[in-house]
Every structure is written in C-alpha cells, then in structure tokens.
Amino acid sequence: MKEWERIDLSNPTDEHKMLRQMIRDFVKSEVEPQAQEFDRDEKFNIDLFRKLGENGLLGITVPENYGGSGMDSTSVAIVNEELSYSDPGFCLAYLAHAQLMVNNLAYNGNEEQKSRILPKVCSGEWIGCMAMSEPDYGTDVLGMKTSAKKDSDGNWVINGRKMWITNGSIDESGTPADICWLYARTGTDENGRAEISTFIVEGGMNGFHVGQNIEDKLGMRASKTAELVFDNCVVPPENLVGSIGESMIHMMRNLEIERIGLAAMSLGIARRSLHEMNRYATEREAFGKKIRNFGQIQRHIAESWAEYRAMKAYVYETARNTNLSESGNRLDTDGVKLFATTSAKNIADRAIQVMGGYGYVGEYIVERLWRDAKLLEIGGGTLESHQKNITKDLSKNPESIQK
Ligand SMILES: Cc1cc2nc3c(=O)[nH]c(=O)nc-3n(C[C@H](O)[C@H](O)[C@H](O)COP(=O)(O)OP(=O)(O)OC[C@H]3O[C@@H](n4cnc5c(N)ncnc54)[C@H](O)[C@@H]3O)c2cc1C
C-alpha cells in the first residue's frame, strides 16, 4: 500500500488517534451516564465541564505557552464528534467556550489579553461565552444595536441586549459567564456600514448581567442559554480587542472553526443514531422476523449509512483544509455545516422510526439526539445563510467547482 492510500482523514496522525481514544474513554465513563438527567433537568454540568479542562480540551487550539494544547481543526472535529455521540447539549456548552470564546481570543487577542485570560479559560477556572446575536438581529448581524461609546476617561460604555447566548448564564440562578466575547457597534464607516468592534467583558463588571435564562428549549437542554444585558457597562480600554471596527476579521476567522465544530457535532449525532437503529433492527422481531429483513427498514439503515459516510469524509476533509489563523475556507465550512446538520437530523429521525414507540422515549436516546440536531440547522448560521453564502461564493469563484 502506498503512503497516501493509508491516510485516514478522521485520524490522520497518531496524536489524533490518541486524542480520539482518550475522549472516547472519557465520554463512555463520564459523559454518557449523566446525559439524560442533565437534558431532562435543563442543567449545565459545570463539574464535568471543568474536567475537560483537566484533560487539556478547553484550550484545545490554544498554544501551549498559554496553557492550551496547541492542536488543529481536525482535533476540534474529533472532540466535538465524540462528545456529541453521547451528549450534544453538553458539547454545545463546550463549543461556546472553547471555539467561540477561547479560540477567538487565542487568534485575535493581544499579548496582554492572552497571557492574562487564556490560562484561566484553558483550565476551566473561568467559563466563557460569545455574544453576537440580539433580540432583533440574528442573521442580519450587522444591524446590531448594542453600542459602545468612549467616555471622557477613555473607558468604553456599553449599552444593549444580546440574545440566545450559550453559557451567557451558567446556572439556574442566572450567574453570568466569567468572560464574554462581545461584538458591539462603535459607529458607522464612510460607506454607511456598521462599524463593529470586539470587547472582552468580565463577570462582575458594573452593568453586565443576565436578563433572563431562556428555558424550555426543544433541545440542547444541557447547555444554558441566556439573554445578556449591558446597562451602562463600563469596560476599560485594554479590553478592546484589536482596533476599532476590526470585528469582521474576528468573525470571519472564527466562524469557520465554529461551523466545523457544529458539523462535527452532527457527525457524532449521526453515528450514534445509526448505531442505535442498527442494533435495534437486529434485536426486534415482528411477524416472526428480525425487522432488519424488511425492505423499508433496510432503506432507513442503508441511506443513513451512506449519508453518515459522506458527512464524515466532508467534515474531516474540510477540517484538514481549515487553517485556524486565517479565514479562506468559507465555501466548505458553510457547505459542510449545511449538509451535515440536516443529514444528522434525518438520520436521528430514521432511528426513531426504526425503533417505533421505543425510539420516542428518553431512555432510548435517539429522541434527544433528534431534538439536539435541530438546533444545528439554526445556530452558527441558519441553513438559509449557508445557502446564500455558498451561492455568492460560487458566483465569485465558479472555478471552485472544477477543482
Ligand atoms: C440554543 C441556541 C444557542 C445559541 N447560541 C448563541 C451564542 O452562543 N451566541 C450568539 O451570538 N448567538 C447564539 N444563538 C443565536 C443564533 O446564532 C441565531 O438564532 C441565528 O443566527 C438565527 O438568528 P435569529 O434567531 O435571529 O433568526 P433570523 O435571523 O431572524 O431568521 C429567521 C428566519 O429568516 C431567515 N432569513 C433571515 N435572513 C435571510 C435572508 N437574507 N435570506 C433568506 N432567509 C433569511 C433565517 O434563515 C431563518 O429561517 C443561539 C441560538 C440558539 C437557539
């Protein structure tokens, strides 16, 4: 066999293989046993989250000199896939911290910000969130109204509300995240477009609080979602990230790893759903036969297998081609999220169908995966936003199709 024929895109090096085995063992012993309970009770398992820090996963992409593990996009996909095999809700809290906040700081913050904050967020001492969406602006993010104005002392005064923020609150009593990566409007540029700047808001800063815990979500119930309020919140000048109006660069860089992370979560959901329906189809009998002998059940299993394999190849191929330090892979990071999220939802749906009434109840897991999968078609960009971006990119670069 030639060297290139041996490459396994999902475990390209021994380091990736070991990471997958480590997280798989952790998931089996620590994540799986608590998943149903924390989903039912809509609670975020903070103790378990901090154990991810002990295992070097909270700062997975952060250079080692700041307390991280210095790993790549493929490693992010591996961790998210494995966690979501058992608990996508818990994984969403992990993604909001490790990819939306910590990775963003590692690649866009300055030296002072990185050395002061990264060790705390890599260990899990501090829990982070990223606040972009607002009650009236989601997809249309550049319309955001949250504003930051400089006062006479040189501090930034922030006013506005952010909506749907994962880890915005970390418990039932509304304790805010320890650290919030915040996008706010600082003005309008010469072309009339919003000038958006990035700020680091720390728990305990005056005027930063949780407006409401958003309860009773369809899925992802093991992660907390909150509305955050900034009421004359005073942020010191050293907490501005980069220069004024630089947020587009931060957003573009970070959205790509976010989308790979969300697509990899879909892959975990798909693998687990396939495993459950395949096992059940062998155990269950009807009309004196194993149900896997029925053609309609075979269609559910076989189509799920083919889609799962296609997702897996696309997720790891995209991860391999995504450089954490620069943007440039929007076409495929949008493409893979578009394909993988709906595939995961459909595979979880087929698993419920194959398992009949049992598939519809919590103990059999797949109903939870189906509920969790739906969020992936909305968060981190809706399906429609991916369709819009892909069509735009293919219009600009039609040669991408021929590559
Ligand atoms: C559980 C959960 C966790 C989340 N976590 C975070 C987080 O941590 N941080 C954060 O900042 N945000 C977070 N979000 C917000 C999420 O990113 C937004 O919900 C998402 O971007 C969509 O925005 P919206 O809900 O305002 O819907 P809208 O943007 O109002 O969209 C409504 C519908 O209109 C469609 N639409 C809008 N514009 C167009 C267009 N131009 N063409 C075609 N269709 C269009 C959309 O695709 C959608 O179908 C979270 C959301 C949820 C539900």
Q: Which of 228, 382, 384 to mutate to test the pocket of ligand 1 (most atoms within 8 A of CB)?
A: 382
* Residues 133, 164 contacting (CB under 8 angstroms): yes
Block means of pLDDT (10 residues each) for the chain, length 403 residues? 91 97 98 98 98 98 97 98 98 98 97 98 98 98 96 97 98 96 94 93 96 98 98 98 96 95 99 98 98 98 98 98 91 98 98 98 98 98 98 97 95
Whether 297 and 242 share a structural domain: no
Q: How many angstroms separate the CA atoms of 194 and 213, rounded?
A: 29
DSSP string, 77-107: HHHHHHHHHH-HHHHHHHHIIIIIIIHHHHH
Give yes or no: residues 167 and 286 share one domain: no
Q: With a 6 A CB cut-off, is 261 part of the ligand 1 pocket? A: no
Domain ranges, residue 382? 248-397
Tens digit of each residue's pLDDT (9 = 90 or more) over 296-314: 999 999 999 999 999 999 9
Domain end residue (candidates: 86, 104, 123): 123
- Local structure of residue 175 (DSSP, 8 states): P
Whether residue 104 sits in one domain with residue 63: yes
pTM of the model: 0.98
8 CA distance to ligand 1 centroid (A)? Answer: 35
Cβ-contact 246, 188 below 8 angstroms: no
Ligand 1 site, residue 166, Cβ cutoff 6 A: yes
Residue where one domain finishes, among candidates 202, 227, 246: 246
Note whether 134 and 36 are same-domain residues: no
Q: Which residues are catalytic?
A: 258
209-246: burial string, b at 16+ Cβ within 10 Å, e else: bbbebbeebebbbbbbbbbbbbeebbbeeebbbeeebb
Which ligand 1 atom minimizes the distance to the CA of 383?
A: 47
Query: Could you give the CA distance from residue 163 to residue 132 in angstroms, rounded to a whole number?
Result: 8
Alpha helices in 284-379 (DSSP H): 295-320, 330-359, 366-375
Residue 165 lies in a domain: yes
Task: Give the residue among 30, 37, 46 at the shortest CA–CA distance from 82.
Answer: 30
Q: Separation of 259 CA from ligand 1 center, angstroms?
A: 14
pLDDT, residue 189, reads 83
| Residues 262 and 384 occupy one common structural domain | yes
Number of domains in the chain: 3
* DSSP secondary structure, 214-266, as one string: ----SS-TTS-EEEEEEEEEEE-GGGEESSTT-HHHHHHHHHHHHHHHHHHHH
Same-domain status, 261 and 235: no
| Terminal alpha carbon distance of the chain | 26
For residues 67 and 194, give the distance between their C-alpha atoms in angstroms, rounded to a whole number: 35
The three-class DSSP label of residue 181 is strand
Ligand 1 probe mutation, 130, 378, 386, most atoms within 8 A of CB = 378
Domain annotation covers residue 403: no
For residue 300, being part of any structural domain is answered with: yes
> Cα(261)–Cα(379) distance, rounded to whole angstroms?
11
**Which CATH number fits the domain that encloses residue 336?**
1.20.140.10
8 Å CB contact between 77 and 92:
no
Q: What does the pLDDT look like over 80-101, one tens digit per residue?
A: 999 999 999 999 999 999 999 9
